[in-house]
Amino acid sequence: MWVQVDFHRVKDYFQIFPEDKARISFWKGEDENPSSVVISTFMDAEDVCDPERAADEIICENLSVFCQNASDEIHLRIAAAGEVLLYETGNTCGEIVSNAFVYEDMEGYLDGDEIEQDAYAAGAG
């Protein structure tokens, strides 16, 4: 079984100015130098406060990782203007999906015998 975990949005009191580029890294595992997505502000972005602040929210689409085990760790890092603005680490896939389902139980239903799969299909899982 695999689970797709998507990063969609983070809202915080970032101060990312129009000339800054933000780097977002979203990865699974122990990679010390993960690939990053570089984003920059819209050139016609309306100023939202003084000093000119371009963003207090970052939205990304199609930024995903795929878990194959409940204990897979997911990491998120956002950096801009030479400093790390946000760094979340140590969240496991099992913890991330826990509001929707229990990873190990779902894996058991899908990998289980015919009775378990029928129970899942009937909505018991």
Say if residues 67 and 86 touch (Cβ distance below 8 Å). no
Instruction: Report pLDDT digits (tens) over 80-91.
Output: 877 887 888 878
Tell whether pTM > 0.85: no
Instruction: Report pLDDT digits (tens) over 1-45.
Output: 778 888 877 777 666 666 777 788 888 888 777 778 777 665 555
